[in-house]
């Protein structure tokens, strides 16, 4: 019940300053790392954030629910002609809201288009949200597409991705590797089958 009360208080703060919530993201381990880098879904970034044409992006001034201001960097990474959008420099804001993995980062917008970010603990409603299950597409021969462990050698590590063989949906994996130099990955399309497994060094 305490989490529900805290979440309600944050949402009330946003309502009081005229900010409308347009997206909420449950934070992953990479989102709450020391780098302060948060992946923003492509559809959300291109609808609500400023248009950027250079991968290095631009500085972006945002507010929190209390009206405090932060200067972040909004940028993207290109891989196979697809964009992965990132907000960098969120560590101070995450610290302000005591955010950890599993907590929720709220994205809202005021009438003057100012982006407002706030944090809240997870609630029972969040636990009930389940990503859609994607079934393998049948092949012309009537058999389901074969799933296999695909190993990718990069920077001395072998990543084993639980992706269907030949799947080209997510070029995000290489981008996350190059940006984070980490062995655990989160896919920006949020499909449950696009999970990365532990790598070997």
Span 145-172, pLDDT tens digits: 333 333 333 333 334 344 333 333 444 4
Question: Residue with structure tokens 């984070």?
Answer: 180
Angle at 182 between CA 92 and CA 88, to 5 degrees: 30
Number of H-type helices and E-type strands within the chain: 5, 9
Residue 136 CA to residue 119 CA, distance in Å, equals: 36
pTM score, whole prediction: 0.63
33's tokens: 């790392």
Mean pLDDT, the chain, whole residue set = 74
Per-residue pLDDT, 80: 78
Q: Considering only CA atoms, which of 39, 36, 26 is closest in space to residue 185?
A: 39
Confidence at 130, pLDDT banded by 50, 70, 90 = low
127's tokens: 């636990």
């Amino acid at each position: 019940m305490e989490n529900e009360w805290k979440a309600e208080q944050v949402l009330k703060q946003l309502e009081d300053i005229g900010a409308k919530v347009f997206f909420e993201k449950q934070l992953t381990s990479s989102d709450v790392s020391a780098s302060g880098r948060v992946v923003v879904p492509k559809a959300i970034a291109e609808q609500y954030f400023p248009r950027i044409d250079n991968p290095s992006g631009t500085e972006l001034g945002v507010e929190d629910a209390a009206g405090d201001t932060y200067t972040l960097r909004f940028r993207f990474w290109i891989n196979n002609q697809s964009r992965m959008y990132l907000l960098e420099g969120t560590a101070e804001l995450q610290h302000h809201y005591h955010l950890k993995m599993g907590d929720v980062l709220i994205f809202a917008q005021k009438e003057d288009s100012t982006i407002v970010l706030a944090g809240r603990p997870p609630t029972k409603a969040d636990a009930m949200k389940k990503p859609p299950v994607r079934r393998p597409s049948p092949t012309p021969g009537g058999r389901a597409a074969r799933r296999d462990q695909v190993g990718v050698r990069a920077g001395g590590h072998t990543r084993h991705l639980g992706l269907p063989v030949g799947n080209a949906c997510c070029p995000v994996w290489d981008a996350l590797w190059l940006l984070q130099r980490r062995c655990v990955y989160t896919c920006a399309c949020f499909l449950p089958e696009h999970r990365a497994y532990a790598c070997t060094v």
